[in-house]
Amino acid sequence: MAANVWGSRDLAYAALTYGRQIAVQARDDLRETHLAATTAWVNLRDGRTAQGFALAAARADRIEPRMSEHDPDRLSVYGQFVTNAAVAARPPRINRSHGDQQRTGRVGIQTGP
Protein backbone atom coordinates (compact mmCIF):
# COMPACT_ATOMS: atom_id res chain seq x y z
CA MET A 1 0.00 0.00 0.00
CA ALA A 2 2.85 2.38 0.76
CA ALA A 3 4.24 1.87 -2.74
CA ASN A 4 0.88 2.93 -4.17
CA VAL A 5 0.68 6.03 -1.97
CA TRP A 6 4.21 7.07 -3.02
CA GLY A 7 3.26 6.64 -6.67
CA SER A 8 5.30 3.48 -7.26
CA ARG A 9 2.48 1.63 -8.97
CA ASP A 10 4.79 -0.96 -10.59
CA LEU A 11 6.09 -1.95 -7.16
CA ALA A 12 2.54 -2.12 -5.82
CA TYR A 13 1.40 -4.35 -8.69
CA ALA A 14 4.45 -6.61 -8.28
CA ALA A 15 3.96 -7.00 -4.54
CA LEU A 16 0.25 -7.72 -4.91
CA THR A 17 0.81 -10.23 -7.70
CA TYR A 18 3.46 -12.06 -5.69
CA GLY A 19 1.29 -11.98 -2.57
CA ARG A 20 -1.70 -13.38 -4.45
CA GLN A 21 0.43 -16.20 -5.89
CA ILE A 22 1.66 -17.14 -2.41
CA ALA A 23 -1.89 -17.02 -1.02
CA VAL A 24 -3.11 -19.33 -3.80
CA GLN A 25 -0.25 -21.77 -3.11
CA ALA A 26 -1.12 -21.71 0.60
CA ARG A 27 -4.82 -22.19 -0.27
CA ASP A 28 -5.68 -19.06 1.72
CA ASP A 29 -8.74 -17.91 -0.24
CA LEU A 30 -9.56 -15.02 2.10
CA ARG A 31 -6.05 -13.52 1.89
CA GLU A 32 -5.97 -13.92 -1.91
CA THR A 33 -9.37 -12.26 -2.15
CA HIS A 34 -8.27 -9.40 0.11
CA LEU A 35 -5.19 -8.86 -2.08
CA ALA A 36 -7.44 -8.88 -5.15
CA ALA A 37 -9.50 -6.09 -3.52
CA THR A 38 -6.32 -4.12 -2.95
CA THR A 39 -5.31 -4.72 -6.58
CA ALA A 40 -8.67 -3.30 -7.69
CA TRP A 41 -8.03 -0.25 -5.49
CA VAL A 42 -4.55 0.27 -6.99
CA ASN A 43 -6.11 0.02 -10.46
CA LEU A 44 -8.55 2.78 -9.50
CA ARG A 45 -5.75 4.96 -8.11
CA ASP A 46 -3.76 4.36 -11.30
CA GLY A 47 -6.63 5.52 -13.52
CA ARG A 48 -7.40 2.01 -14.74
CA THR A 49 -11.05 2.27 -13.80
CA ALA A 50 -12.27 -0.33 -16.29
CA GLN A 51 -9.83 -2.92 -14.93
CA GLY A 52 -10.56 -1.95 -11.33
CA PHE A 53 -14.30 -2.17 -11.89
CA ALA A 54 -14.07 -5.50 -13.74
CA LEU A 55 -11.93 -7.07 -11.01
CA ALA A 56 -14.03 -5.69 -8.17
CA ALA A 57 -17.38 -6.63 -9.72
CA ALA A 58 -16.29 -10.15 -10.68
CA ARG A 59 -14.75 -10.87 -7.30
CA ALA A 60 -17.71 -9.35 -5.42
CA ASP A 61 -20.04 -11.73 -7.27
CA ARG A 62 -17.75 -14.61 -6.39
CA ILE A 63 -17.43 -13.84 -2.67
CA GLU A 64 -20.89 -12.39 -2.00
CA PRO A 65 -21.91 -13.73 1.42
CA ARG A 66 -25.16 -15.51 2.05
CA MET A 67 -27.59 -14.30 4.70
CA SER A 68 -26.67 -17.28 6.87
CA GLU A 69 -22.94 -16.38 6.89
CA HIS A 70 -21.59 -14.23 9.66
CA ASP A 71 -17.85 -14.24 8.96
CA PRO A 72 -16.76 -10.62 9.58
CA ASP A 73 -13.56 -11.03 7.55
CA ARG A 74 -15.49 -12.23 4.51
CA LEU A 75 -18.03 -9.42 4.91
CA SER A 76 -15.20 -6.88 5.16
CA VAL A 77 -13.56 -8.04 1.94
CA TYR A 78 -16.92 -8.12 0.17
CA GLY A 79 -17.51 -4.54 1.31
CA GLN A 80 -14.15 -3.51 -0.17
CA PHE A 81 -15.15 -4.94 -3.55
CA VAL A 82 -18.54 -3.25 -3.51
CA THR A 83 -16.93 0.08 -2.60
CA ASN A 84 -14.25 -0.26 -5.29
CA ALA A 85 -16.86 -1.16 -7.92
CA ALA A 86 -19.03 1.80 -6.89
CA VAL A 87 -16.09 4.22 -7.11
CA ALA A 88 -15.11 2.90 -10.55
CA ALA A 89 -18.68 3.13 -11.84
CA ARG A 90 -19.24 6.76 -10.86
CA PRO A 91 -19.02 9.42 -13.56
CA PRO A 92 -15.77 11.41 -13.59
CA ARG A 93 -15.75 14.66 -11.69
CA ILE A 94 -15.28 17.83 -13.66
CA ASN A 95 -13.04 20.45 -12.15
CA ARG A 96 -15.04 23.50 -13.15
CA SER A 97 -12.81 26.00 -11.40
CA HIS A 98 -9.78 24.85 -13.41
CA GLY A 99 -11.77 25.05 -16.65
CA ASP A 100 -13.02 28.52 -15.74
CA GLN A 101 -9.48 29.63 -15.00
CA GLN A 102 -8.23 28.33 -18.34
CA ARG A 103 -11.02 30.14 -20.25
CA THR A 104 -10.52 33.46 -18.49
CA GLY A 105 -6.73 33.25 -18.46
CA ARG A 106 -6.71 34.01 -14.76
CA VAL A 107 -4.90 30.87 -13.61
CA GLY A 108 -4.01 30.86 -9.94
CA ILE A 109 -6.94 32.96 -8.80
CA GLN A 110 -9.50 31.16 -6.70
CA THR A 111 -12.86 31.14 -8.47
CA GLY A 112 -15.01 29.30 -5.97
CA PRO A 113 -15.53 28.56 -2.31
Q: Which domain holds residue 12?
A: 2-92
The beta strand positions in 10-106, using DSSP E, are none
Q: Of 43-57, 64-78, 79-93, give the range with the top mean pLDDT.
A: 43-57
Q: Is residue 99 part of a domain?
A: no
Has residue 79 been placed in a domain?
yes
Burial of residue 9 (number of CB atoms within 10 Å: 0-12, 13-18, 19+): middle
pTM check: above 0.75: no
- In a domain, residue 104? The reply is no
pLDDT in the model for residue 26: 93
